[in-house]
Amino acid sequence: MKRTCWFLGIAAIVILFVMIAGRERSFGLSATESGSPGETAVKIDNFVFSPLTITIAAGTTVRWTNHDDIPHTVVSEDKSFKSKVLDTDESYVFTFSKPGTYTYFCSIHPKMTGKIMVQ
C-alpha cells in the first residue's frame, strides 16, 4: 500500500512538470522569460515566428532566436531592420522606438511572416 501511494505521488509530480513545460512551449516566451525587462522574445521554430503578432510599447526591444535546424533571417517589409542569417540558437535584437505596425518575413523563406504592433 505504501509503495502504491509513493508511486502515485511521484507520477503526479512528473505529470505536473510535463503540463507546466507544455504550457510554456505553447504560449512562447514572455518578456520576463526572455531574460531582460523591456525585452520581448519571438521564437523561430518549424518555419514559424512565434508569436505571429505581438503588441509592444515604444522603446521595447524584441529578440528573435532561431530554434530551427536551418538558417533564417528577420527582415522588415519597410527595410527598417534586417538581421544577418541566423543559424541555430543565434539571436537578433531590435529596439522599436517609433509607434506603428511593422510586418516582417524571412528572406530565405518568404512565406514565414510576422507582425509587431508598437504603441
Q: Judge whether 56 and 119 are in contact, CB under 8 Å.
A: yes
Segments making up each domain of the chain, as ranges = 1-29, 31-118
Model pTM above 0.75: no
Q: What pLDDT is attached to residue 5?
A: 52
CATH superfamily of 31-118: Cupredoxins -  blue copper proteins (2.60.40.420)
For 2, the grid coordinates are 505504501
Q: Judge whether 110 and 49 are in contact, CB under 8 Å.
A: no
Give tens-digit pLDDT for 25-75. 333 333 333 445 689 999 999 999 999 999 999 999 999 999 999 999 999
Q: What pLDDT is attached to residue 3?
A: 65
Total number of residues shown for the chain: 119
